[in-house]
Amino acid sequence: MDRICDKKDCTGCFACYNICPKKAIEMKEEKLGHIYPEINLDKCINCNLCKKICPSNKNFQLREPLKAYAMKSKDEEIRKNSTSGGAATVFALAIIEKGGIVYGANNIENGKFNFIRINKKEKVEKIKGSKYVQCYINDMYIRAKEDLISGVYVLFIGTPCQIAGLKSFLGKDYDKLITIDLICHGVPSQRLLMNEIEEMVEDVNKVDKILFRTQEKTGFNLNLYEDGKLKISKEMKESCYYKGFMRALFYRESCYTCKYATQSRVSDITIGDFWGLKENSRFYKERSKGVSLILPLTEKGLKFIKECKKNMELEEREIMEAVYGNSQLRHSSNKPKKYNKFIKIYEKQGLKKAYLKTRTVKQILKDNKTIMNLYERVKGK
């Protein structure tokens, strides 16, 4: 068997890994630590199932939003601890209340970010918050299918390529399945993040939580916890990882041509930040506390949002307001010109050197406060 799909299009969604009847596929780290499937030819029986279900080999039916809502959780605690307005948690709690199962991206455990299956309210805390790194699905599509066959509600929250992977793996819709995708501008690898974490603490295995956005939601920082207590915090401007993430410097190849970065979507509901919210919104003055954008794409999604209404404040907005405010609803992230140079330096000299040696002049100025102040003073004269 040759490649499952064109490597540049492989999103690392794990659908092939889940479908293989011979467990012949392993996900292995390659350049920049991004994971790709590797087939063990001794086990492979050439059934071609992996190729058939790979979402990168087919065109998905994408749907236009039916409506757009600005949203905040009525529970201020939920909103405070979430990345945006707390939509994901409100939806997760509603499914668990119905006796259902939620699949989402866990925070760090033993140095890894993996998807988990949860069925208890207290566990929702584990999936709360954006992890700005690629989280591994492992065998969670198989588990979700088992749950669906057993007849319970299943909510699966992930990046659009992961929802495409799930749908492709399942091969049909289930009445009790609700899928939610995040607006997504791309993912760095776990190895890149660990390079940064290793510089911040002595033992990465002791880190039991990482928060990427706290305090004011418009501010981004890396906060590492040990035994549930904040151990160390790094502002974005001090972090090569975070600055690289924001500049789309080292995402997976597939993120730069992402077919899901459009206003037509793959799930029942899309959630994100309501960037670009206009002044006439009743949430406008509270943007720094986090306001979610919710786009229902299917009648099932719309019905579920209405069911959850008692726990959220919703305001209907123009769909185009959301689309104009959020570039990832229009196009994928641009691949930086220095992507290949970054890879070359990174493989020999590591994250920090690669970051420093691939900055543009504008970025060097931005990174250096003294030079920047001087530059602005000169420019002002």
Ligand X SMILES: Cc1cc2nc3c(=O)[nH]c(=O)nc-3n(C[C@H](O)[C@H](O)[C@H](O)COP(=O)(O)OP(=O)(O)OC[C@H]3O[C@@H](n4cnc5c(N)ncnc54)[C@H](O)[C@@H]3O)c2cc1C
The residues that touch ligand X, with contacts defined as CB under 6 A, are 82-89, 104-105, 127-133, 135, 157-159, 182-185, 187, 271-273, 275, 292, 326, 328
Least Å distance, CB 250 to ligand SF4, is 12
Cβ neighbours, 10 Å, residue 9: 17
Least Å distance, CB 88 to ligand X, is 3
Q: Are strands 68-73 and 292-296 parallel, antiparallel or unpaired?
A: antiparallel
Q: In terms of CB distance, is 56 or 179 closer to ligand X?
A: 179
Q: In terms of CB distance, is 252 or 287 closer to ligand SF4?
A: 252
Least Å distance, CB 340 to ligand SF4, is 18
- Collect all residues with Cβ–Cβ distance below 8 Å to 293 and sequence separation of at least 6: 68, 69, 70, 71, 84, 183, 270, 271, 272, 273, 274, 275, 322, 326
CA distance 308 to 320: 24
Least Å distance, CB 69 to ligand SF4, is 22
CA distance 352 to 309: 46
Read off the tokens for 4.
């499952």
Least Å distance, CB 206 to ligand SF4, is 28
Binding site partner of 135, from ligand SF4, ligand X, none, Cβ cut-off 5-8 A by kind: ligand X
Q: In terms of CB distance, is 50 or 68 closer to ligand SF4?
A: 50
Binding site partner of 105, from ligand X, ligand SF4, none, Cβ cut-off 5-8 A by kind: ligand X
Least Å distance, CB 75 to ligand SF4, is 28
Reduce the DSSP state of residue 371 to 3 states and report it.
Answer: helix
Are 117 and 137 spatial neighbours (Cβ–Cβ below 8 Å)? no
Angle at 358 between CA 355 and CA 364, to 5 degrees: 85
From residue 214, how far is each of 220, 223, 238 by CA, in Å?
7, 8, 16
Binding site partner of 132, from ligand X, ligand SF4, none, Cβ cut-off 5-8 A by kind: ligand X
Read off the tokens for 246.
């924001």
Q: In terms of CB distance, is 250 or 345 closer to ligand X?
A: 250
Q: Which residues bind ligand SF4 (CB under 6 A)?
A: 1, 4-5, 10-16, 19-20, 22, 24-25, 37, 39, 44-50, 54-56, 159-161, 165, 184, 186-187, 252, 254-255, 258, 260
Least Å distance, CB 116 to ligand X, is 9
Binding site partner of 236, from ligand SF4, ligand X, none, Cβ cut-off 5-8 A by kind: none
Looking at residue 258, what DSSP letter applies? -
Q: In terms of CB distance, is 320 or 364 closer to ligand X?
A: 320
Could you write out the DSSP letters of every residue in 285-329? GGGGG--EEEEE-SHHHHHHHHHTGGGEEEEEE-HHHHHHH-GGG
